[in-house]
Amino acid sequence: NTAPCGDAPLVPYVQTVHDRAQIEMARGCTRGCRFCMAGMIYRPVREKSISCLQSLAGKVLAATGYEELSPVSLSAGDYAGINDFIRLLITRYRDDRVAISLPSVRVATLTQDMIQEIKRVRKTGFTIAPEAGSPRLRRVINKGIDEQEILETAARVFDAGWKLLKLYFMIGLPTETSHDIHAIIDLCRTIADRHRGKQLNVSISTFVPKPHTPFQWEAQEHPDTIHEKQRLLKRRLHHGMVQVKYHDRFVSLLEGVFSRGDRRLGSVLQEAHRRGAGFEAWSEYFNYSLWCDAFAACGIDFMSYLRERDPDKLLPWSHIRCGVTLDFLKCEREKALREEPTPDCRQGVCNECGVCTQLGLTPEIAATHQQPYLVQQVHHTSENHSVWIRLHYSKTGTARFLSHLELSRALARAMRRAGLPLQYSQGFHPLPRIVLYNAVPVGIECLGEVCDVELRQPVAPHAVSAALHAQLPPGIAIEAVSELTKERQPPPENAHRYRICPAPGCEPSWMDRTTLEQRVADFYRMPTFPITFVRNGITYTADLKKIVLHLTCRDPYTLEFDIACTGSKTPKVAVIASRIMKRDEHELRIVKLPVPPSDTSSLRSTA
């Protein structure tokens, strides 16, 4: 409970992986999976109390505005008070529609009560990790679940209304045979056949031996062997509702080399960097031949790092102590070869791993059924006092690179951080009732754009403006706020108005008033202004004289024009500006302007 933890993480304005709030429920895991390094070095289990987690969840959600919260640990389902805590979160944040998602959970801990609580707000994803397809191999790795438990868990998830389930498996595990690979195929097919119309995402990773685990001495399979197994799984699981993904075998090879490497690999890292290596987790940047050349330049046979190690010899990490004794790891390795399980020590049987005695620690398990916390509920009412408000906002500077969806997400999270009582849609995936009328193209600034928001209860416009001002990203500003007293109507708009001027850092001399007036004169003098452009891979031809309604020189370095709203086959604004000005798009700063009501009727008649 006293361990430091971040309660105000950075919130990205673009969508990222794991784009949600996270709080740490516990550290350590004593399940004893023999391939898992984290399960060994983070022992013993230390769980935060429900009251501590309740406080932490409130701080993180208030600071981030996230609409999804993920309580994380090495084995989230093993948290002693997991059902009480999920029920507390769902009840407390029901009006704010905060969804709860759990990371990969053990089959036995995914109960019907837990599933029903999670679906009360929104169905988030479910992931279970059998790791191996056959009961024999699961005994080898000490994954104490049988096939019937896996099938029953899948049935509970799908019967509760979920349409997607993710399964994690590993290949290349010690003692693995072809029977174990086919067992993965049979298990996935059985689930798919029993639940027609449901989606299975099957992730196949390659076993990489890790230090401080019972499998630290085992060999890692050759990439060619791994590739054959991947191809077999892909071919045999070719099913409309089963999607198979697997890791690049050469990336796994490098993971294995550096996982059990020694100090000689430092020179390889430097050499690979000099040759241009970087962002290796991104497939488009990974270059296996570059790494082969780097190893060769350093005179190192990298395949030798994948070999089986002698348990009686020193390893490069033998001088590091994590608490788990070497004798315990050797004993677990022998039990794996005999297919013997090791029970979870949190059930009361000490397995003498050495952590508690060497580090002076003991397991800390959270108390369960803490009813005083569950009664701290928010009063919910069915009375409808909702109101619509209209925001006029601008998006300038670096914020112009936010897409329409990213802008909508950034505004929603800012409103949640500001404490505005947002109204939400109904159904299985509730969303805040926020309406952005115009999708301003990426890279173009805008002024006076309109956004309508429904609130559960009235809030004074000046209070909305002040609250949002402190929470919005740089470059997004609220210009005006008003309450819509009549039926909500979209703002009238028959054309879009844009301003062109030199981009920051560009020499403006080519855009003086004489040049601008010449561009305007050339445009109006030409009977037609045909251009070709490409959208969605299709080439179109358009006449700008039918699209650009007005073209005006405003000052020595500014041009304004109006574009008729003619549909999806209109060229992009940047293309229009570039063709009129006869300059590259990156040399132009383009700003979308509000069209005054007095101009609307004239634009309508012109269009």
The CATH number that applies at residue 514 is 3.30.70
Q: How many CB atoms lie within 10 A of CB 200?
A: 21
Residues 521 and 557 in one domain: yes
Considering 483, 505, 527, which residue would you say is the last residue of a domain?
483
In a domain, 130, yes or no: yes
Tell me the C-alpha distance between 397 and 262, whole Å: 48
Highest mean pLDDT among 127-136, 213-222, 380-389, 503-512: 213-222
pLDDT for the residue 368: 64
In a domain, 38, yes or no: no
pLDDT for the residue 427: 75
In a domain, 35, yes or no: no
> 3-state DSSP call for residue 18?
coil
- The β-bridge partners of 165 are 200
Using alpha carbons only, what angle is made at residue 31 by residues 28 and 34, rounded to the nearest 5 degrees? 100
* For residues 80-94, average pLDDT: 88
Tell me the C-alpha distance between 606 and 494, whole Å: 10
In a domain, 370, yes or no: no
Residues 521 and 473 in one domain: no
Query: Could you read off the pLDDT of 54-71 as tens digits, one per residue?
Result: 999 999 999 999 999 999
Question: How many distinct structural domains can be found in the chain?
Answer: 3
Phi-psi region of 352 (alpha: psi -120 to 50; beta: other; left: phi over 0): left
Tell me the C-alpha distance between 472 and 484, whole Å: 22
Higher pLDDT among residues 294 and 492, named by residue: 294
Query: Could you read off the pLDDT of 160-189 as tens digits, one per residue?
Result: 888 899 999 999 999 999 999 999 999 999
Residues 456 and 598 in one domain: no
Q: Which residues contact 288 (CB under 8 A, 6 or more apart)?
A: 250
**Residue 74 and residue 28 in contact, taking contact as beta carbons nearer than 8 Å:** yes
Query: Could you read off the pLDDT of 400-421 as tens digits, one per residue?
Result: 999 999 999 999 999 999 999 9
**What does 210-273 look like in DSSP terms, one character per residue?**
-TTSTTTTSPPPPHHHHHHHHHHHHHHT-BTTEEEEE--HHHHHHHHHHHT--TTHHHHHHHHH
Pairing of strands 495-502, 434-436: unpaired
Expressed in angstroms, the distance from the first to the final Cα of the chain is: 66
Tell me the C-alpha distance between 174 and 220, whole Å: 9
If pLDDT is split at 50, 70 and 90, which confidence band does 384 have? low
Residues 178 and 128 in one domain: yes
* For residues 215-240, average pLDDT: 94
Q: How many CB atoms lie within 10 A of CB 568?
A: 7
Higher pLDDT among residues 587 and 381, named by residue: 587
Residues 410 and 549 in one domain: no
Q: Quick one: which of 107, 141, 132 has its CA closest to 184?
A: 132
**Residue 71 and residue 53 in contact, taking contact as beta carbons nearer than 8 Å:** yes
pLDDT for the residue 488: 76
Domain harbouring 334, CATH code: 3.30.750.200
Considering 483, 513, 530, which residue would you say is the last residue of a domain?
483
Tell me the C-alpha distance between 144 and 343, whole Å: 9
Tell me the C-alpha distance between 403 and 439, whole Å: 8
Residues 339 and 236 in one domain: yes
Q: What domain range includes position 599?
A: 495-606
The token pair that represents 581 in the structure block: 């000005």
**Residue 495 and residue 547 in contact, taking contact as beta carbons nearer than 8 Å:** no
Q: How many CB atoms lie within 10 A of CB 213?
A: 22
Q: 36-72 in b/e burial notation, b at 16+ Cβ within 10 A?
A: bbebbbbbbbbbbbbbbbbebbeebbeebbbbbbbbb
Residues, the chain: 607
> 3-state DSSP call for residue 53?
helix
Domain harbouring 410, CATH code: 3.30.70.580
Residues 242 and 195 in one domain: yes
Query: Could you read off the pLDDT of 259-318 as tens digits, one per residue?
Result: 999 999 999 999 999 999 988 888 889 999 999 999 999 999 999 999 999 999 999 999
Tell me the C-alpha distance between 51 and 211, whole Å: 36
- C-alpha of 244 from chain center: 19
Q: What are phi and psi of 19, to 5 degrees?
A: -80, 75
pLDDT for the residue 64: 95
The arrangement of strands across the sheet holding 68-72 comes to: 21-24, 68-72, 99-100
Residue whose tokens read 């962002």? 279
605, pLDDT greater than 60: no
The token pair that represents 563 in the structure block: 């574009």
The token pair that represents 175 in the structure block: 């003692």
DSSP H or E stretch at residue 165: strand 164-171
Residues 252 and 337 in one domain: yes
Q: How many CB atoms lie within 10 A of CB 254?
A: 21
Q: What are phi and psi of 596, to 5 degrees?
A: -60, 145
If pLDDT is split at 50, 70 and 90, which confidence band does 17 have? confident
In a domain, 40, yes or no: no
Considering 325, 349, 373, which residue would you say is the last residue of a domain?
349
> 3-state DSSP call for residue 72?
strand
Tell me the C-alpha distance between 498 and 551, whole Å: 10
> 3-state DSSP call for residue 355?
helix
The arrangement of strands across the sheet holding 164-171 comes to: 127-131, 164-171, 199-206, 242-246
Q: Which residues contact 199 (CB under 8 A, 6 or more apart)?
A: 163, 164, 165, 241, 242, 243
Q: Which residues contact 191 (CB under 8 A, 6 or more apart)?
A: 150, 151, 154, 165, 167, 200
Mean pLDDT value across the chain: 88
Q: Quick one: which of 512, 591, 590, 605 has its CA closest to 550?
A: 605
604, pLDDT greater than 80: no
pLDDT for the residue 382: 54
pLDDT for the residue 556: 75
372, pLDDT greater than 70: no
Strands (E), 348-400: 387-395
In a domain, 19, yes or no: no
Residues 264 and 140 in one domain: yes
Residues 215 and 172 in one domain: yes
The token pair that represents 540 in the structure block: 């179109």
**Residue 276 and residue 290 in contact, taking contact as beta carbons nearer than 8 Å:** yes
Residues 404 and 313 in one domain: no
In a domain, 295, yes or no: yes
pLDDT for the residue 495: 77
In a domain, 270, yes or no: yes
Residues 536 and 594 in one domain: yes
